[in-house]
A and B are shown apart, each in its own frame.
Chain A
């Protein structure tokens, strides 16, 4: 990792002996202690480290749950109930893990919108941003497979509906679905492999997080002004103790929020149907995914055969079925974010100096909330229309508004430096 040098020195002979062979102490000193950080970061910059901490909480609670969980269709549901009733502190560990998934997505979604607002994805941080999108995808896969493990009704039918999405792929779709299931329906082989992959993917995420941090430390954190660090002495402060203490304060607040759900509303984010054991012959009347998937679920469902966007992209219904179009749109809604660093033509990063973009940013944020709201309700009446227009706006914003605003907008004058913005040197220019 570059960025930040270390003048690490120790009097300990043991430390020096190790340092000579593996320079891990100077590395940690440079990256976590002296690491120069913009002096003007606000509390939205807490969410990266918070996400890292939640990842560790999820891994620790997950590994301990796996010690009492049985990945078999006959025993999975009862083994989870046994964890809840008989295993020492089992209820606590399970509620931590269950609600931890929701907390993880809350923190990560705020982290992503922070990046969108302050233009953190722009050069030279494109790869940093893209790795973040891959982390999001890995998180989604992990969360989806984890939700199947308790083998409740929502587990089973969620798995059925989502794996059936792949049957929309022309020619090979049915074979892919059979490959995913290891049979002709979601059954024991499916549960086994989901458990295996659910255990694996978090460690893949850890690897991606390491790359994410490596890319971050190359060019350091962005900051609310979006102006790069010009003079390390003037513009930055060492990570420790200034940001360790700031992150610790944010961590305290997050843990209060987290603990509230664990102890007082542990099933708030869940669905009661998942406390009914999976029954392959009875479909619950209304299947909904977990809340963090709802906007994407709304995009999937928006594509009906009479949706005008579908009619356009499928050339009047000839190119693909509405089902396939919905599946493609759902995946595209995340993958299109990979292109954002190139779609945004503005040279100014922070929305603070981009009044027009700032307006559209908030419209986009509201649009995502509407998609989430529609995704959780049955697709009937006016909701279908709302979902379809919100889906249209989601893509219209990223593909059309972002580039056009980047070219047309006249940004406000930027401060000369981070230090100048803090001391208010160029405030007069605004």
Chain B
């Protein structure tokens, strides 16, 4: 700034002039700083309004009755707008999931870490690659090479514990936080 003032033809006349310019610089920079912070604060509500609203967040938990699900059967329920797979696993599926050694897994996790009760597998049915819904819930669906789920969009294979085994998806199907409120009821979220 001081340079501009000098070029404008103002004769420099000692220390007072320099003081004047330093003060002016200070005022300009502090005004700009206050303005920038103020603008940022004013902009935030306009960005934050895009985040999930209170009513969207209020739908955050879902109660499911699981008494009617036979062994080997799956149901899909909606939690936070997302499909959640609940599978009543067969003993073979459980032993298969438990017998896999961790070094075969792209995203290592034991089966015990993914279930509360081994016969019930509860997980978000959204492929961790780009968000498609994997097949494997219905009879006749392709279950992939590992007998679990198969995402048709880009070919990710999940095993009987919902762990990624093959394909582009980076991580296992996520397990939501849930609890058994009694023997027949699961509370998700």
Select one of A184, A281, A283, A323 contacting B170, CB under 8 A.
A323
Instruction: Annotate A154-167 by CB proximity to B: 1 below 8 A, 0 otherwise.
Output: 00010011011100
Query: In this assembly, does A285 line the interface, its C-beta being within 8 Å of a C-beta of chain B?
Result: yes
**What mask results when residues 66 to 82 of chain B are scored 1 for a CB within 8 Å of chain A, else 0?**
00000000001010111
Contact B153 A184 (CB under 8 A): no
Whether B82 contacts A184 by the Cβ 8 Å rule is yes
User: Which residues of A are found within 8 Å of B52, using beta-carbon distances?
Assistant: 178, 181-184, 189
Partner of B133, one of A187, A283, A322: A283
**Binding stretch for chain A, among B18-26, B96-104, B124-132:** B124-132
CB pair A323–B168 under 8 Å, yes or no, is yes
Chain B residues whose C-beta falls within 8 Å of the C-beta of A189 in the assembled complex? 50, 52-53, 56
CA distance A379 to B154 in the complex (A): 7
Residue of B whose beta carbon sits closest to that of A305? B168
A424 to B139, CA, bound (A): 76
Closest to A161 in B: B130
B136 within 8 A of A: no
In the assembled complex, how far is the CB of residue A302 from the closest CB belonging to chain B, in whole angstroms?
Answer: 11
**A84 contacts partner chain B, Cβ-Cβ < 8 Å:** no
Answer whether A183 and B56 are a contact pair too, CB < 8 Å, given A165-B130, A323-B129: yes
- Whether B8 sits at the interface, judged by CB under 8 Å, is no
Question: Is A280 a contact partner of B83 (Cβ separation < 8 A)?
Answer: yes
Distance from A376 Cβ to chain B, minimum over Cβ atoms (Å): 14
Question: In B24-39, which residues have CB < 8 Å from any A CB?
Answer: none
- Is there contact, CB below 8 Å, between A280 and B170? no
| Chain B residues with a Cβ closer than 8 Å to the other chain, count | 24
CB of A287 within 8 A of chain B? Answer: yes
A321 to B107, CA, bound (A): 13
Contact A185–B153 (Cβ < 8 Å): no
A180 in the interface (beta carbon within 8 A): yes
Residue of B nearest to A285 (CB): B152
Contact A164 B82 (CB under 8 A): no
User: Across the interface, which residues of B come within 8 angstroms of A322, CB to CB?
Assistant: 168
Q: Is the CB of A280 within 8 A of B81?
A: yes
Q: Does B51 contact A (CB under 8 A)?
A: yes
In the assembled complex, the Cα of A154 lies from the Cα of B129 at a distance in Å of: 17
Residues on A with beta carbons closer than 8 Å to the beta carbon of B80:
183-185
Q: Which residues of A contact B43 (CB under 8 A)?
A: none
Chain A residues within 8 Å of B168, by CB: 304-305, 322-323
- Interface residues in A163-180 by Cβ distance below 8 A to B read 163-165, 178-180
Proximity string of chain B (107-143) to chain A, C-beta cutoff 8 Å, 1 when within and 0 when not = 0000000000000000000000111110000000000
B132 touches A160 (CB 8 A): yes
Q: Chain B residues near A379 (CB, 8 Å)?
A: 154-155
B81 touches A184 (CB 8 A): yes
Give the residue among A283, A287, A321 with the most B Cβ atoms within 10 A: A283
Asked if A301 meets B154 with Cβ closer than 8 Å, knowing A160-B132, A283-B132, A323-B129, the reply is yes
- 13 extra interface residue pairs, beta carbon distance < 8 Å, beyond A183-B56, A282-B133: A157-B132, A160-B130, A164-B130, A184-B80, A185-B82, A189-B50, A189-B52, A193-B50, A280-B83, A283-B132, A286-B153, A323-B170, A380-B155
